[in-house]
Amino acid sequence: MAAGMPAQPQQRRIVLPPHRQRAGRPWSVKAREWVRRNLFPSRSGTILTFVALAIIGVLLAGMIWFVFIDADWRVITANRWLLFAGAFPREEAWRLWVSMAFVFTLIGLTYGTWSSLGGKDHFFIAVAGVFVVFLMAHGGAALWSSLWFVVAIGMLYAGYYATVWMPRETSARRTLQVRIVGGLLIAALPIALMLLLAFGGGQMRRLDGFVLNLVLAPVGIAGGLVVAIPLAIGRASSMKAISWTCTTYIEVVRGAPLLGWLFVALFILDDVFPGELIVRAMVVMAVFTGAYMAESIRGALQALPRGQYEAAHSVGLTRLQALRLIILPQALRISIPPIVGQAIAIWKDTTLVTVILPLRELKGNADAAIAQFEFTPFRLEAYVFVALVFWAVAFMMSRISQRLERTLGVGER
């Protein structure tokens, strides 16, 4: 400091202890700031907000008018069993409810083991549960159907609260929990099919309606993933024979639409897989889905830095060990978004089996319902209901995917 200049007083920063620091702002203040920042940031933003609110208001008013005033839902309430299970024997309906309770319990165990249910999840479960119970109980349906669904929801929460309180730190108990729940996830589809069909149950060809959608989609997704992993590894292989073979398979399968491959299931696969047509449809959907998923996984393999391979080799891992322990887990983690997108696509594509094959899923049975003379004018109501059901399942898959991505840190560096 220059001589003769007065010393400047130093600024002292006062730090209050935690219990005396400034309290958080009220919720109302935060809400006003959020509204101002996101809805009315400027003059043009305010105009766009009002235009969007006007459009949403018109659409919402039209939906409310249609659902509660204009529409006649007797086509749905009078054909509940046709839409849900179709030709499945009514005396074996308990199999459907036991299978549903098992699946719901497994969902609860999975969330409790690796994630947690948030407020939005509870809200979605409550809204969906009220809607399904109302649909089942409305119009004189058997009370047991509603009770079974309520029991299934209870099993979901029982499985969730049985596992969510367990510590998630690495321990022998945690390892056992993960192995048990993971094993049940792997065996979920065979167990559900066994509950539906084994020990004198309904025959495979009697899987009908929404139940058929719920069987075809998981088989196509799980089978496609089993097919996709070796295909992706093979196409990325340095061995030309393996790479060319996998590439040919992927390009041939992707080069034709699913409708064409369902024709193959109807006319050609009968010589290879004689028997139930549903089994052939499952094989075709797994093969078709696997070709698309393989490309997603291959892209993830190529996106991994070369240093991951070199680090695995430097610690003495063999090529197979490096692939199993280092490379493939990271590639599957990166490819979760496109894999889930393909899973949602194959879920919606299950409606195509009605177009080609003599099978009737939810949309096909909706066509059968409106083919009845008294319900012919209610075509729009039937299709709106089918669209709502497919959207609800696709939305649930998307939510699970987002939760999984956040848990695994997909997109983070």
Please check whether residue 236 is in contact with residue 298, taking contact to mean a CB–CB distance below 8 angstroms: yes
Residues in the chain: 413
pTM attached to this predicted model:
0.82
Q: Does domain 203-413 have CATH number 1.10.3720.10?
A: yes
DSSP label at 324?
Answer: I
Q: Which amino acid is located at 213 in the chain?
A: N
- Residue 236's closest CA among 318, 297, 320, 317? 297
Name the token pair of 58: 């018109």
Q: For every one of its 413 residues, what pLDDT tens digit does the chain have, with 9 covering 90 and above?
A: 445 555 555 556 555 555 554 556 677 777 788 888 888 888 888 899 999 999 999 999 998 998 888 888 888 888 888 888 888 888 888 888 888 899 999 988 988 888 888 888 888 888 888 888 777 765 445 567 778 888 889 999 999 998 888 887 878 888 888 899 889 888 888 888 888 887 765 577 778 889 899 999 999 999 999 999 999 999 988 888 999 999 999 999 998 899 888 888 888 877 777 777 888 888 899 999 999 999 999 988 888 888 888 888 888 888 888 888 888 888 888 888 899 999 999 999 999 988 888 888 899 999 999 998 888 888 999 999 999 999 989 988 888 888 777 777 665 55
Alpha carbon distance 99, 111 (integer Å)? 19
Contact 249, 295 (CB under 8 A): no
